[in-house]
Amino acid sequence: MAVSDEALLAGVAAGDTDATAAFVRRYQRRVYGLALSVVGDPGLAEDVAQDAFVRAWRHSGSYDPRRGRASTWLLTITRNAAIDVLRMRRDLPTEPAALVDVLVARVDQADRVADRERVRAALAALPRDNAVALVLSVYFGLTAREVSDRQGIPLGTAKSRIRSGLRQLRRMLEVTND
């Protein structure tokens, strides 16, 4: 039986090198994949992914499973590390609409992970404009004003798309969680 993510993370916090290696091995594809999606450059993505694991290790003792799953906790750390890098660049390395296509694309059955499939289906069901605005905000850390400037849409429209998209996503995830 596989060790749970939370148990692995507890081992990481306790300084267990085997648990730390297992944790890195379990998540390296996801962490590197997210970093690459945000920064768009393999070399930078590797730096970001490594930095994310070191940050996670540093803060593993304070991880609280009541506040969320280990996977989303780790990916949030990764996203933050990637945005740190992204803010030094002038433009986004990835076309947001193209990224949305990648995010909602079905993957091979063998590569399917239940939690990702559930969120992928919810994102795919969002109105396209809302999905793009939401991805710009969540993946690239853009404010509504920045989304407005980038998309050439009024600020109110950008705010509305982010807000509506997130609320719709939440409702759909609530349904699939029931």
Partner 1 sequence: MTEPYDCAQVADLLAEVATGAATGPDRDRVATHLVYCDPCSHELDELSRAADELLLTAPEHEPPAHFESTVLERIATSEGAPARRPRRGSLLLAAAAAVVVAALSSGAVWWATASERELAASYSETLDVADGRYFAAAPLIGADDSQVGHVFLYDGSPSWLFVVLDPAPGPGPYEIVVTIDGADQGAGRCVVTGTGCAAGGTVAGAIGDVDSVRLIGRDGGQMRADLDS
Residue type at 131? A
Instruction: Rule CB under 8 A: say whether 97 interacts with partner 1.
Output: no
Instruction: Rule CB under 8 A: say whether 153 interacts with partner 1.
Output: no
Instruction: Rule CB under 8 A: say whether 141 interacts with partner 1.
Output: yes
Instruction: Rule CB under 8 A: say whether 14 interacts with partner 1.
Output: no
Instruction: Rule CB under 8 A: say whether 10 interacts with partner 1.
Output: no
Instruction: Rule CB under 8 A: say whether 67 interacts with partner 1.
Output: yes
What is the SS3 assignment for the chain? CCCCHHHHHHHHHCCCHHHHHHHHHHHHHHHHHHHHHHHCCHHHHHHHHHHHHHHHHHHHHHCCHHHCCHHHHHHHHHHHHHHHHHCCCCCCCCCHHHHHHHHHCCCCHHHCCHHHHHHHHHHHHCCHHHHHHHHHHHHHCCCHHHHHHHHCCCHHHHHHHHHHHHHHHHHHHHHHHC
Mask for 18-37, x = binds partner 1 (CB under 8 A): --xx--xx--xxx-xxx-xx
Taking the least distance from each CB to partner 1, the nearer of 7 and 163 is 163
> Binding residue for partner 1 (CB under 8 A) from 8, 10, 19, 49?
49
Instruction: Rule CB under 8 A: say whether 157 interacts with partner 1.
Output: no
> Binding residue for partner 1 (CB under 8 A) from 129, 143, 150, 157?
143
Give the whole-angstrom CA distance, residue 61 versus residue 63.
6
> Binding residue for partner 1 (CB under 8 A) from 8, 39, 63, 70?
63
Shortest separation between residue 101's beta carbon and partner 1, angstroms: 11
Instruction: Rule CB under 8 A: say whether 39 interacts with partner 1.
Output: no
> Binding residue for partner 1 (CB under 8 A) from 14, 107, 125, 175?
107
